[in-house]
Chain A
Amino acid sequence: QKEVEQDPGPLSVPEGAIVSLNCTYSNSAFQYFMWYRQYSRKGPELLMYTYSSGNKEDGRFTAQVDKSSKYISLFIRDSQPSDSATYLCAMEDDYGGATNKLIFGTGTLLAVQP
């Protein structure tokens, strides 16, 4: 079993829809949770990060972390064709900086149809 599971999609939605992207994980030591967006043939771009449980909002994007269920989500409101990309969740444990590797999900390919 992978430490981080993410539905690869593809997910196709009409413009203006609310998009929900999700990851589950197995390592309860994870404390930092991140969402990256990756356009085709480009490097991943950090969208948001959250420490521990709770919600975080940034414009049209909302990240949610439920540590009790080991489940994280990214919601995109009023989705636009420019949001079409692969969305990667990533996690990091928090051993005082002793380990610093990000564990990534495999990514969900999102297509927003105009």
Chain B
Amino acid sequence: DSGVTQTPKHLITATGQRVTLRCSPRSGDLSVYWYQQSLDQGLQFLIQYYNGEERAKGNILERFSAQQFPDLHSELNLSSLELGDSALYFCASSVEVGGTEAFFGQGTRLTVV
């Protein structure tokens, strides 16, 4: 158990809908990262927050947004969902700004039908 908690574990939703994925980082970790893992693209970095502020952005779609709250938990919002958004979404956390020793949660498996 990495100490990073993601909910829900599984999510099935229809195209055009909006979902929210939640992540609680390890105790004491200030950085939260979101990654998308699909069969054809592998693990892709989406976005990072550090102590409540956006720190780095990857190839995150405009339909996706995230935030980190004062208690350091983070949410990833996915809207206007398309079939191609079906993937595993992972959250990771680390103490430092750099993601060298990032610990991953178990992921949320999103299926868009």
List the interface of chain A (C-beta within 8 A of B): 32, 34, 36, 42-46, 49, 88, 90, 92, 94, 97, 99-107
Contacts and interface: CB of A to CB of B under 8 A. Distances in A.
Given A43-B107, A88-B43, A97-B97, A102 B56 contact: no
B45 interface: yes
A99 B58 CA distance: 10
A32 to B, nearest CB: 5
A43 B98 contact: no
B10 to A, nearest CB: 10
B90 to A, nearest CB: 6
Contacts, number: 64
Given A43-B106, A100-B31, A102-B45, 14 more contacts: A34-B100, A42-B107, A43-B4, A43-B104, A43-B105, A44-B104, A92-B98, A97-B98, A100-B97, A101-B33, A101-B48, A103-B45, A105-B42, A107-B43
Interface of B: 2, 4, 31, 33, 35, 42-45, 48, 50, 55-56, 58, 90, 92, 96-107
Given A92-B99, A100-B56, A44 B42 contact: no
A101 B99 contact: yes
Contacts of B43: 44, 88, 90, 102, 104, 107
Contacts of B55: 100
B90 A43 contact: yes
A99 B107 CA distance: 23
A8 to B, nearest CB: 9
Contacts of A90: 43
Contacts of B33: 100-102
Contacts of A36: 104
